[in-house]
Structure 1
Amino acid sequence: MKINFLYITLFSLLTFNASAQKAGVKKGDKNYDKFAYIEAIKTYERIAEKGFKNPEMLQKIANGYYYNAELVKAEKWYGELFAMTEEVEAEYYFRYAQSLKSVGNYTKADEMMAKFNQKSGNDLRGLLAKEKKDYREIIKKNSGRYKLEDAGVNSQYSDYGPAFYLDKVVFTSTRDTGNFSKRKHSWTDQYFSNFYSADLNQEGALSNTDRYGKKLNSKFHESTPAFTKDGKTVYFTRNNFLDGKKGKDANKVTLLKIYKATLVDDKWTNIKELPFNSDSYQVAHPTLSADEKTLFFASDMPGTKGLSDIFKVDILGDDSYGTPVNLTELNTEGRETFPFVTSDNELYFASDGHPGLGGLDIFISKLEKDGSYKQVHNVGEPANSPFDDFALIINKANKRGFLTSNRPNGVGNDDIYKFLETKEIEFNCEQVLVGIVTDAETGEILPNTKLTLFDEKFNKLKEIMSGPDGRYDFGEVECEKKHYVRAERESYNTKEVPVIIGKESGSTELPIELETSVKKIPIGGDLADIFGINLIYFDLDKWNIRPDAAIDIAKILDVMMQYPTMKVDIRSHTDCRASHRYNEQLSDRRAKSTRDWLIKNGIAPERLTAKGYGETQLINKCADGVECTEAEHQLNRRSQFIITDL
């Protein structure tokens, strides 16, 4: 999904140089609509500095910096925008949150994400932010696993997107080493990118940087190559340009495509674009699976969830390919890009949609048995920062690799950093859900109990029976997810129990206690206790049956109807307030009021006795002279239903 850029017009500015300002805005709009953000920002800022501001202009200035990954400057202008109005599209809350992280204001960033979630509906970025409020603790847990250093090949421009190639590293740079034409791109005010190479030694050090792949480099952008292990095939990103012809979309913008080339006599030849490219959408940043049978890439092709998604496609041979498949389980409405697949089938990628430290963060996911990528982990600091961090590659054999970042104090715009991974991420959480089913009253084990496992949306996952020892085992379940377990057994009440599975490998124990549906009724027992019936309360100085109390007395009525020989002694009580004599008379009236209600509704008089006990049987401290709350006094204003005969 390409970003929509909204054209704006400013109303007349009632100043001497209004027409000049309009001309400036028109020029800025023209540059902005062409994605020429650097020129657009300069125009808009000059106008804003003279006091001519409105929300639309502030949006464009902030967006210009945001799209060029200058998040600190974007934060300033988004701050001005939100100071002027919060009546903006939901996406601006997200961008402001990302920009706030770049200046370390995570508290306000989290507030903006909460508002973004409210305004955006079912946007996964907002839902993830709500679900993972402790994301900074999770990132902290995954941090400290990399020793990061400057790679030694960086220039004052943008250097990024490294790839392993035999005993070299090939990377992308916007430095210009040409002797004649020096062409800059208006989006970024940097030279068009080309490939460069550097020798790689066993300690991960790079040296002897030089221009690489003369036939691969064109007068437009090339970036992010992916080489086969034998070094004879390369997939790479380039602007829509082949055989001297430049392609454009409907807006006359030259987008990105993936191309393939083969090495013949030490020269890259037979350059051709892949068949799923299009003039109408972007396809970029290829990487190969460990077996080189699958190509992963980023795109905003139809079916994309966000600004860019990670896709994969089967390589069928003879320059034919399958149908691209969206990795929907890890993509968000934000940017997922720069994939890299290791020899262990771990997928690294950059995203600003999953909770992170700000800008693009690097994440890792591992191929599941069903072919999906369900678990997504932030790789932590120092690989990630509040700025854009992306394009990580790693050699799993020696744990050495490279990544790109535009964090401060680098050499240029984007810089390549080398690293040594000192500890692998605690990745595969393997949890089993087990437990035992017992009688809630006696503790007796309950074998042959039917147990059904549901996910958080009550989709049925599995059905089993408890064993002879009352134990059950659902086997492996998904970590950090909410599930429900339903237990069903004859003569027992069905019970559903929620459980949240642990976040680390291990076992989640869920004991289930079932209550029998056939109650044992002892002489002298209180029906309120036996059947879980609420106490019958009365208002202060009243003895009439309250509407809420009538519901519970109706339960008593039903029980006595089920047991026609049962006899009950109704005992009513008061609190300590008023005199003993008054309370005794009041409670007696309450007891008889309850008895009369039951008789009126079908219970024979001889089955009921009733007596009031006043304040003689208080159930708490609230005697005369003791200060108590109204709620504490209420507990003493009650009735009991004692079984005297069956």
Structure 2
Amino acid sequence: MKKIFYIYLLATISVFAQESQIKKADKYFSKASFEKSAQLYTTLISGGNSDSKILKKGADSYYFISDFKNASDLYKKIISKEKDSIEDHYIFRYAQSLKAIGKIEESNKWMKIYEKDIPEVIYKANLDKLESIKKQGNKFEIKNEAINTSKSDFGPSFYKNQLVYSSPKKNRGLFSKKYKWNDQAYLDLFVATINKNSLDSLSNPFSKELNSKLHEANVTFTSDGKKIYFTRNNSNNGKREKDENKITQLSIYSADLIDGVWKNITSLPFNGNDFSTMHPSLNKENNRLYFSSDRPGSLGSFDIFYVSIDSNGNFGKPINLGEEINTKNREQFPFISDEDKLFFSSDGHPGFGLLDVFMTKITNETYSKPLNLGLPINTNSDDFSLIYDETTKSGFFASNRADGKGDDDIYSFSQTVPLDDFKYYVHGTVLDDATDYIVTGASVFLFDEKGNKINETTITTNGEFLFVLKPGTYKLSAYYPEYIPAEKTFTILDNGIAETEQIIKIKKIPKTFLEELIAEQGDPRVITDNGVLMFDLPEILFDFDKSNIRIDAQVHLDKLIDKLNRYPLINIEIGSHTDERGTIEYNNKLSQERATSTMNYLVDKGIESTRITAKGFGETKPKVDCTDHKCSDDEHQINRRSEFVIIVKPE
């Protein structure tokens, strides 16, 4: 009996001990003390605890401290255990962890599952583009700088002929306070001298006024160097401020250089205790501050925003850069160059590793499609906080790649080839369908997917057309007198494959009635037996004794307008008709009014009047002949119409 009691007692003590350990691990996790929570969750899992919550928090703990081997092992167990019910962000982190440890094919498999909403052709295009970037080779020469330590060194910023960067506090003693996330000392700002695009080996604390007991990192300066913006933990009079989960978020602060001392340290008005605002970068004009934040309204976990700064130093409202730049994942570490190139890091755009560095060009408030900077800036690890000097074509960035000295290292780089966006173009020619000869002089028009004409050219003696394009769907239209206009729709994928060829074949207009040929071609027009090319569009009808354009007629006319916009060299004749009732003189007058009314509708919608002739035929060309029988109201209605034809010269 005593033996059973002792066994029960030991089991009870073991349960209580495990529950205590779980509470302790959860407490560390909730306070973002991931180094310690990872250790405790590992002990629990090794002891046989396979609870999904424990596995997930253990995996995330390792992920957040960049221990991707242990993270991937635990994510694999989670996915195997929960299968179809697993949340998407665990699949994403598993794919990223696999990529970080070099298992690229397996990572791509899981990333495809994560990106299930992206069409297969687009997903493949993204992979193809990365391969194209690889084939371009290295665009930079890089160097690991001597200032790096065994800890985390990152966040470089230009300051006069110096570099200001972030690194854990030094020489603070054995019992100095540590940052719980990775169990390292809190970050301070340090400064080193730039010497020929590289750094001297010695560095010093940047400012005793700015460096505090908390984090200071990622700075930017006004052009005159008299104002600084920097990232620091939320605090009030040196005391941390916490959110409802007892976590201290990050905010952007400013300070002024007065008589060689940084003063007036101020939290910016768009900070908040419930979200982070960080990584400031100021443009050359000092009137726009870019930053990253996970504030409400963000598209992903972190987005890039900007605020305008007026001449009095007042800040506007934060503006999200939008879906061209921000994704459902992380966009951080923005840097704006003097020529309005915005560099940033992202794990949401297609990349080689975790955070990759991208560049976008800002033109008239629009952002070009982000360009992955490629090798060797980007690796299968985190590559981030890049800054760039337009004059020297050089700069600095940080990375936690495998060959570094510490957790994060600062690298210098020199650009060796231009940072050009991918250039895509469509080229081809226009051929006679019967002979395959080039139709010299044919006009080629390019339209976007909304039907807007964006370019045009003429086939000359070299026989080809060429348009430079961005990725998207387009339509080509070819026209030449005495030929039936032809169209071709195609799509340019953002896959790094620059060249797309399109051959357009056009048919000569025959002398005789050839509806079968046109139907076989799928062309929206028919040929009449008198050599008239007619749009296959329902005639518009009129009320008895009226010439106004009815609502149902407007629908058909709008379709005609679309065709005329797509064939800008085509002119049309509007032929309007009446039924047989009324005098010949009256019907001639009424049909002309109907033709004019139809033409005015087209002109009001933007069709040039020189392309249109309007002719009334009275009752002379009925569709239903009423001479041998009395027409019904419906038959009279058919005769009250406008038709649209293109008069062409027969072959």
TM-score by length of 1: 0.71
Cα shift at 1:445: 3.8
Counterparts of 1:179 and 1:14, CA distance in 2: 43
Match 1:483 to one of 474, 482, 498: 474
CA separation of 1:405 and 1:448: change in aligned 2, threshold 3 A:
closer
Judge which range, 469-478 or 298-307, deviates more: 469-478
Q: Match of 1:279?
A: 273
Cα contact 2:471–2:491 (8 A) shared by 1: no
| Partner Cα distance (2:405, 2:229) in 1 | 28
Aligned residue type for 1:164:
F
Partner residue of 2:56 out of 52, 56, 59: 59
Matched, 1:186 2:194: no
The yes-or-no answer on 1:201 pairing with 2:199 is no
Q: Does 1:514 align with 2:511?
A: no
Cα deviation, residue 322, structure 1: 2.2
2-structure distance, mates of 1:440, 1:196:
71
Instruction: Please say if residues 502 and 508 of structure 1, whose CA atoms lie closer than 8 Å, have aligned partners that are also in contact.
Output: no
Is the Cα contact below 8 Å between 1:333 and 1:353 reproduced in 2?
yes
Q: Shift in Å at residue 356 of structure 1?
A: 1.5
1:492 aligns to 2:484 (yes or no): yes
> In the alignment, does 2:114 pair up with 1:116?
yes
Matched, 1:243 2:237: yes
**Cα 1:271–1:214, aligned 2, differ >3 Å: closer, same or farther?**
same
Letter in 1 for 2:329: G
* Structure 2 partner of 1:403: 397
1:354 to 333, 349, 352: 349
In structure 2, distance between residues paired with 1:412 and 1:152: 12
Structure 1 distance, partners of 2:454, 2:352, is: 41
Q: Which runs of 5+ in 1 are unaligned?
A: 1-12, 534-557, 563-646
| Shift of residue 401, structure 1, vs aligned partner | 1.8
Answer yes or no: is the 8 Å Cα contact 1:350–1:361 preserved in 2. yes
Residue 71 (1) aligns with residue 102 (2): no
Pairing partner for 1:98 from 96, 99, 116: 96
Looking at structure 2, the residues matched to 245 and 93 of structure 1 have their Cα atoms a distance apart, in angstroms, of 38
- After superposition, the Cα gap between the structure-2 partners of 1:359 and 1:509, relative to the gap in structure 1 and judged at 3 Å, is closer
Task: Output the amino acid matched with 1:172.
Answer: S
Indicate how the Cα distance of structure 1 residues 349 and 247 shifts in structure 2: closer, same or farther if over 3 A, else same. same
Residue 517 and residue 273 in structure 1: after superposition, are their counterparts in 2 closer, same or farther (change >3 A)? Answer: farther
- What TM-score results when the alignment is normalised by the length of structure 2? 0.71
Q: CA deviation at 1:413?
A: 1.3
Residue equivalent to 1:338: 333
Query: Contact 1:299 / 1:308 at 8 angstroms: preserved in 2?
Result: yes
On the 8 A contact 1:308/1:335 being kept in 2, the answer is yes
For residue 384 of structure 1, give the secondary structure of its aligned residue in structure 2. coil
CA distance in 1, matches of 2:397, 2:69: 21
Deviations 1:29-69 (A, max 9, x none): 22212222122111110011112113332221111111222
1:181 Cα deviation from its structure 2 partner: 6.1
Against the structure 1 CA distance between its residues 263 and 129, is the aligned structure 2 distance closer, same or farther, given a 3 Å change threshold?
farther
Instruction: Report the 3-state secondary structure (helix = DSSP H, G, I; strand = E; otherwise coil) of the residue aligned with 2:98.
Output: helix
Partner residue in 2 for 1:453: 447
Query: In the alignment, is the contact (CA less than 8 A) between 1:429 and 1:503 conserved in 2?
Result: no
C-alpha distance in 2 between matches for 1:24 and 1:163: 43
Q: RMSD of aligned C-alpha atoms? A: 3.6
Whole-Å separation in 1 of the counterparts to 2:357 and 2:402? 17
SS of structure 2 residue aligned to 1:357: coil
Say if 2:216 and 2:230, in contact at 8 Å, map to a contact too: yes
User: 8 Å contact 1:227–1:235 — kept in the other structure?
Assistant: yes
Q: CA deviation digits over 1:563-600, x for unaligned, max 9?
A: xxxxxxxxxxxxxxxxxxxxxxxxxxxxxxxxxxxxxx
Q: 1:254 to 1:446 in 2, by over 3 A?
A: same
Contact 1:448 1:465 in 2 (8 A): no
CA distance in 2, matches of 1:28, 1:516: 80
- The letter of the residue matching 1:479 is K
- Once the two structures are TM-superposed, the CA of residue 478 in structure 1 deviates from its matched residue by 3.3
Q: 1:15 to 1:445 in 2, by over 3 A?
A: farther
SS at match of 2:127: coil
Per-residue deviation, 1:431: 5.3
Alpha-carbon separation, structure 2, partners of 1:81 and 1:187: 23
Question: Please, which of 154, 158, 161 is the counterpart of residue 167 of structure 1?
Answer: 161
Q: How many residues align?
A: 513
Q: Distance in 2 between matches of 1:302 and 1:502?
A: 31
**What does 1:378-457 align with in structure 2 at a 5 Å threshold?**
378-425=372-419, 427-429=420-422, 437=430, 439-441=432-434, 443=437, 445=439, 451=445, 453-454=447-448
Letter in 2 for 1:102: A
Equivalents in 1 of 2:498, 2:377: separation in Å? 28
1:132 aligns to what SS in structure 2? helix
1:497 partner amino acid: T
| 8 Å Cα contact 1:521/1:530 also seen in 2 | no
What is the aligned-residue identity percentage?
33
Question: Which residue is 2:610 aligned to?
Answer: none
| Cα distance, 1:391 vs structure 2 | 0.7
The CA deviation at 1:248 is 2.6
Q: CA deviation at 1:307?
A: 0.8
Change (3 A) 1:64 1:385: same
Unpaired runs of 5+ residues, structure 2, are: 1-9, 531-651
Deviation, 1:532, is 4.7
For residues 563-642 of structure 1, the aligned pairs below 5 Å read none
Partner SS, residue 321 of structure 1: coil
Cα distance in 2, alignment partners of residues 77 and 449 from structure 1: 62
- 2:86 aligned partner: 88
Give the deviation of 1:180 after TM superposition: 8.6
In 1, Cα distance between equivalents of 2:488 and 2:459: 21
Partner deviation per Cα, 1:482-511 (whole Å, 9 max, x = no partner): 323355789736533325379789886644
1:128–1:355: 8 Å Cα contact kept in structure 2? no
* Partners of 2:463 and 2:395 in 1: CA distance: 45
CA drift at 1:188: 1.4
d(CA) in 2 for partners of 1:41, 1:505: 44
Amino acid aligned to 2:304:
I
Question: What displacement does 1:371 show?
Answer: 2.4
Deviations 1:97-116 (A, max 9, x none): 11111121111111101111
Q: Distance in 2 between matches of 1:334 and 1:279?
A: 21
SS at match of 1:74: helix
Q: Aligned AA for 1:512?
A: I
Q: Which moved more, 1:500-509 or 1:146-155?
A: 500-509
Contact 2:275 2:293 in 1 (8 A): yes
The answer (yes or no) to whether the contact 1:348–1:365 under 8 Å persists in 2 is yes
Contact 1:402 1:417 in 2 (8 A): yes
CA distance in 2, matches of 1:358, 1:505: 22
- Higher mean alpha-carbon deviation, 173-182 vs 353-362, is at 173-182
Is the Cα contact below 8 Å between 1:71 and 1:359 reproduced in 2? no
Post-superposition offset of 1:237: 0.5
Mean Cα deviation higher: 152-161 or 48-57: 48-57
Distance 1:474 1:445 in 2: 12
Q: 1:317 to 1:521 in 2, by over 3 A?
A: closer
What residue is the counterpart of 2:252 in the other structure? 258
C-alpha contact (below 8 Å) 1:437/1:470 kept by paired residues: no
Summarize the Cα distance change of 1:38–1:246 in structure 2 as closer, same or farther, 3 Å threshold: same
Deviations 1:590-641 (A, max 9, x none): xxxxxxxxxxxxxxxxxxxxxxxxxxxxxxxxxxxxxxxxxxxxxxxxxxxx
Q: Distance in 2 between matches of 1:219 and 1:112?
A: 42
